[in-house]
Amino acid sequence: MLDTKGVKVVDTTCPWVAKVWNTVHTHQVRGLTSIIHGKYLHEETMATKSMCETYICVKNIDEAEMVADFMINAEPGDGKAEAFLDHFKKACSPHFDPHVHLTKIGLANQTTMYKKETRAIGQLLQKTVMKKFGPENINDHYYEFDTICDATQVRQDAVEELCNMHDDPSKPSLDLILVVGGFDSSNTAHLLEIPQMRGVRSFHINESACITAENTIKHRTVDGDIIVEPFLSDVNPRKDGSKLRIGVTSGASTPDKEVQDALSQIIMLQKLFHTINV
């Protein structure tokens, strides 16, 4: 009907999301259960689930280990299936039977998840399948294809490099890492997790206004809480004359202007602290 009216239809689906959908379609064709590394209420994962006949979502390595443990140790009638389904009742297909549907599996992921965790989950599932069915049968019981978004990978790798520089005694350490992006953005939240896990002081803001002239910062913690605290006062002034070093990154879909505005706010604080160097 749209063609007859001369309407031009443009498919704006992210190509990396389309790869995920193609992957889970392959799972269905091969008779595999899709194990999706993602948050089951995230819009992208909800769309991916709609492409699957049989699926289960795991949000992290801990839940993947629960799946692996069930595959290796559970037996029909031992009661483990009931406890398993109670935990995953909102994250699996309605007809999901772990004794039946975890014998042939394929891994897919929400494209904005933490890349290293997705790889760790893949390695865990591979080892589990080989232990359960034998290395020679892995291709009959397991399928995996990397569907982490390129833009997400580049940013995660860059933050890892910043943390490595911080930990390298031969290189200048960072005083903090600033992550700019929406508070509801999954890929931005994962960017914050990297320095937090590495012990590097870091903040996630969603706009430049989070940094104030009063030297406070409103930011989202890894637990999802929005808090306000002093920003630069605990690292300035420097008695040895050294400059504050800040690493800056942003979510995959964060406009460049938001990052530039955040940097402008930091530069504004030079009026109070004259040793800032971004």
Question: Please, are residues 37 and 117 in contact by the beta-carbon 8 Å criterion?
Answer: yes
Distance (Å, rounded) from C-alpha 31 to C-alpha 53?
9
**pLDDT for position 211:** 93
pLDDT, one tens digit per residue, over 212-263 is 988 899 999 999 999 999 988 544 555 556 677 889 999 888 899 999 999 9
Mean pLDDT of the chain: 88
Q: What is the DSSP string of 1-62?
A: -TTTTTPPP-----HHHHHHHHHHHHHHHTTPEEEEES-TTSHHHHHHHHT-SSEEEE-SHH
Distance (Å, rounded) from C-alpha 39 to C-alpha 118?
13
φ, ψ dihedrals at 53, nearest 5°: -85, -45
pLDDT at 267 over 50: yes
**pLDDT for position 235:** 46
% of the chain residues with pLDDT over 70: 93
Q: Which of 43, 44, 53, 161 is catalytic?
A: 44
pLDDT at 20 over 70: yes
Distance (Å, rounded) from C-alpha 233 to C-alpha 231?
6
pTM of the model: 0.70
pLDDT, one tens digit per residue, over 140-174 is 999 987 777 777 888 989 999 999 988 888 888 88
44 catalytic residue (yes or no): yes
**Residue 10: alpha-carbon gap to chain centroid:** 28
pLDDT at 51 over 70: yes
Cα torsion 32, 36, 42, 45 to 10°: value is -40
